[in-house]
């Protein structure tokens, strides 16, 4: 018979506690208001936080991250330069042209194979005049 209840068992994976901005501001305000010796330690024990939390939150408050529009994390996006857009467009055009050329080469190879299978002779490209398609209608 199991005497222990589930409420006393430790969960397999601990979940990290997250503090909202309003909680951080409230706790910082209480910590700033502490004047007696040991009052900050009592506050930290009561709230279940460490001194590193307070120091990190104070740095965030000084950086203005608790305001109405907190500063976003990560690199600052650079303004798009017109030359960069042109480079991207030219690269896209080059890729399309390469794909078309590759497709045309494969079509020519296919035409050669089909003509060999059916025993048809293809006209020599050096004998045709510019502007002629090489086929007679």
Query: Could you write out the DSSP letters of every residue in 60-110?
Result: HHHTTTTSSSPPPPSPPPPPPPHHHHHHHHHHHHHHHHHHHHHHHHHHHHH
Residue 132: band (very low, low, confident or very high) from pLDDT cuts 50, 70, 90:
low
Supply the pTM of this predicted model. Answer: 0.44
Per-residue pLDDT, averaged over 122-133, amounts to: 69
> How many CB atoms are closer than 10 A to CB 61?
16
For residue range 60-91, list pLDDT tens digits in order: 888 888 877 666 778 888 888 889 999 999 99
91 vs 14, more confident: 91
């Amino acid at each position: 018979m199991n005497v222990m209840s589930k409420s006393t068992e430790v969960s397999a994976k601990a979940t990290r506690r997250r503090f909202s901005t309003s909680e951080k501001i409230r706790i910082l305000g209480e910590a700033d208001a502490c004047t007696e010796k040991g009052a900050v330690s009592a506050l930290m024990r009561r709230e279940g936080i460490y001194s590193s939390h307070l120091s990190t939150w104070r740095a965030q408050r000084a950086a203005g991250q608790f305001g109405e529009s907190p500063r976003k994390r990560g690199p600052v996006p650079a303004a798009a330069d017109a030359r960069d857009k042109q480079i991207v467009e030219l690269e896209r055009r080059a890729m399309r042209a390469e794909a078309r050329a590759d497709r045309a080469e494969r079509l020519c190879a296919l035409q050669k194979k089909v003509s060999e299978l059916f025993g048809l002779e293809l006209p020599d490209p050096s004998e045709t005049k510019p502007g002629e398609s090489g086929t007679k209608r």
